[in-house]
Structure 1
Amino acid sequence: MKKIFSLLALLTMIIGLVGCSMDEGTSTKTDTKAKEDDSLKVGLSMNTLNNPFFVAVKEGAEAQAKEENIDLVVTDAQNDPGKQLADVENLLQQNIDVLIIDPADSDAIAQAVKKANDAKIPVFTIDRQSNGGEVITHIGFDALKSGNIAGNFLKDALGGKGKIVEIQGILGTNVGQLRSKGFNEIMEANPGFEVVARQAANFDRGEAMKVMEDILQAQPKIDGVYAANDEMALGALAAIEAAGRLDEITLIGCDAVDPALEAIRSKKLEATIAEPPVFLGKEAILTAVKISKKESVEKEVILDSTLVTPENIDQVKTK
C-alpha cells in the first residue's frame, strides 16, 4: 500500500509539472503575439475642440492616423491649462509612444512637457509653442508673417490710411502675441493708420461679437478690422452686420475655416489667411511616425500661410 501511495503521489507531481509547463508556454505565446500586434500609440492633447480650426486639426490627425494604422488618443482641455495638465498626466499613464500637445497656454504647458520629459516620452508641440521643457520639434504656421499679411492687406485695401480695430487672440499664447506683433509692425510703418481700438477676445466667436458691439458703439468711424482668427472675424462680422455697417468696414480674419470661406464667397468678409488646420493635423502624425522610427526631424517646421480673397479663393488649397 505504501508503494501504491508513493507512486500515486509521484504521478500527481509529474502531472502538475507538465500542466505548469503547458501554462507557461501558452502565456509566453500570448505575450509574444500581443507584442507583435502592438501598433504605434500616440497621445494628442488638444487645447480645445470648441473651435472649427482645432476640430479640423483633430480630423486631419485622425485621418492620417487611420492611414498609418496608429492608435490615436485625443483629449480636449476646453481651453483650461489646468485640465490640459491633467489630460497629459492621464495620457502618460496610457502607455503612449509619442505625445503631441497643442497648448492652451504657452507658459502653463511647460509643466506638462516636463512631465513627459521625466517619463521619457518623446513630446512635441503643434500650432502653439511651449515656453519650457524639452520638445523634439514644433510644427506650426508663422504667426508673425500672418500678422504682416493682414496688415499689408488692409494697407492695400485702404490705401495706407484709416481707422483700424484689432481684435486679438489669447495673449498667453505665442500665436496670439505674434499675430498681434506682426500686424502692428505694419500699422506702425504706415502713419496714415490709426488703431482706434485694440482688445482681446481669446479666439472666441461670442466674445468677439460682444467686443465688436462695444467698439461699434464707441467708434462712429471704422475703416478696417483685423481679427486674429476666423472665429473672431465671424463674431465681429455678426456685430457689424447687425449694426448696418457692413459696407463701410473692411474685415480680415485668419485660418481659412469653411464658414469664413463661405463668408468671403457671399461678399461679407473681405479676406482671411489660409493656415490649413487639416494639414497641420496630418503633419503632426507623420512627424510622430518619424520620431517613433528614430528618424531625424527639424527643430521647427513652418507650414505655408496664404492670403485668401475673392480673387483666389478657388485656387488656394485648404484641405
Structure 2
Amino acid sequence: MVATLGLVWGATFLFIELALEGITPFWLAAGRIGFAALLAVAIWQLRGGRLFLTQDTSWGALAVSGLFNSAVPFMLLSWGQQTVSSGFAGVSMASGALIMLPLAHLFVPGERITTRRLIGMLVGFAGVTVLLGGQAFTSSGDPLEPFGRLACIGAASCYAISSVLMRRLPPVDPFGLAAMALVFGSMLVIPAAFVVEGPPPLPDTRTLWIVALLGLIPTAGANMLRILVIRSAGPVFMSLVSYQVPMWSVILGIVILGEPFRPALLVAMGLILLGVLLSQWGALSRLFGRGVTPNS
C-alpha cells in the first residue's frame, strides 16, 4: 500500500499542472475534495454506514484530523507553489517524515525515536535532496517566497499531525474515517475557495475530467489506503511515502514527458531505499518474514 501511494501521489503532480491550466488553485482543491467526499460517503453508506465501532468516540480529534488530512495542506500547497520552485515543494513534502518522528515519539505508544530510525530518515531525506538537485533551493525571486516556503513546510506538518491523530482514534471503520475526513475537509475548503477566489469558474470538459480523476484516485482512493496504513502500521511507517513521491514524480517525468535522465537519479534512489531499510528494518522484516500483524 505504501508503494502504491508513492506511485499515485508521484503521478498527481502531472495532473495538477494540467488542471491548473483551466481552474484556479483553491477551486481545484475544493473540486477534488468535494468529489472525493461524495464518492467516499456513498461507498461508506453502502457498507453499512458505521463509524465508531465501540462506545468510545472522539469527534474533536476526528474533525481536526480531517481538516489537516486534506483541506489545509491542499490550500497551503496551492498557494505556496505559486511562489516557490517545484523542487522546494518536493523537499518540503519529504521533510514530513522528519516532522513525524518527534510527534509520534511523544503521542503514539510504541513509536519511539531510535538511532537507527533517525539515521534512516536522514539518509532518505538526503536522497530526496540529491534527487531534486540544486533547483530545490534556488530562489524564485518572488518577494512572497519566504511565506510560500513556510506554507509548504506547513502542509507537510499538517500531514504529520493528521496521521498522529488518526492513529490515536478509538476503534473506527476505515471507510467511515476516510469519508468523514473528506467531509470535514470539504466543509473548510469550499467556503475558503469562495472567500479567496469568488464563485467557482466554469472549466472546460478536459479540466472537469482531470478534476474528477484527481478526486477519484489520488484523493478518495489514496486517502483510504493512507488511513489503512496509519491504522495498521503506524504514522512513522506511513511517512515513508513522502520519500517516494518525488522519486516517482521524476521517474514518470522521464518516462511520460520525455524529461532528461540524470545519473543522480540512481544515487538518489539508492539513498532513499537505504533510508527506508534502516528506519523500518523491524517492520519490513515482519512484513516479508511472518506477514503483517496489527502492531507491525
Which TM-score applies when normalising by structure 1?
Answer: 0.24
Which TM-score applies when normalising by structure 2?
Answer: 0.25
Whose radius of gyration is greater, 1 or 2? 1
Kindly indicate whether structure 1 or structure 2 has the higher relative contact order, using CA contacts under 8 Å at least 6 residues apart.
Answer: 2
